[in-house]
Structure 1
């Protein structure tokens, strides 16, 4: 048994709320490899991994 909580996936609105960056700025940073890229979960579904976004926030602070 593991003590870790399962990894959570974040919607773009969650990422915007956590980072205080706009959608377009987040996607621009992703395009320049300066922000974690979203994972494709389906044809019309992309999500960010919470721990990667949190690590980016910690590094940026």
Structure 2
């Protein structure tokens, strides 16, 4: 996990699956189950066979993993726009 802790990173930086799993401590199955349930940010398609997660969205989940919903992403986006 230490190799993924760094100084400030852009919230738009894309994280690959291994980094997300190491940072969150979730298993791959649990991560995808949470995505399907709407309790973890969805991945973004980077190309035909590659997906990633925005670091800022994962950070929002890390701040409140128990009660996270997709509405939290919208709320955070609205706060940034204001």
How many positions carry a matched residue from both structures? 57
**Are 1:14 and 2:19 an aligned pair?**
yes
By percentage of residues, which structure has more helix? 2
**Matched residue of 2:64: which SS?**
helix
TM-score normalised by L of structure 2? 0.65
User: Cα gap change, 1:18/1:44 in structure 2, threshold over 3 Å: closer, same or farther?
Assistant: same
Greater RCO, 1 or 2 (C-alpha within 8 Å, sep 6+):
1
By percentage of residues, which structure has more strand? 1
Distance 1:60 1:32 in 2: 13
Equivalent position to 2:43, from 33, 38, 45: 38
Please, what is the CA RMSD of the aligned residues? 1.4
Which consecutive unaligned segments of at least 5 residues does structure 2 have?
1-9, 67-82
TM-score normalised by L of structure 1? 0.85
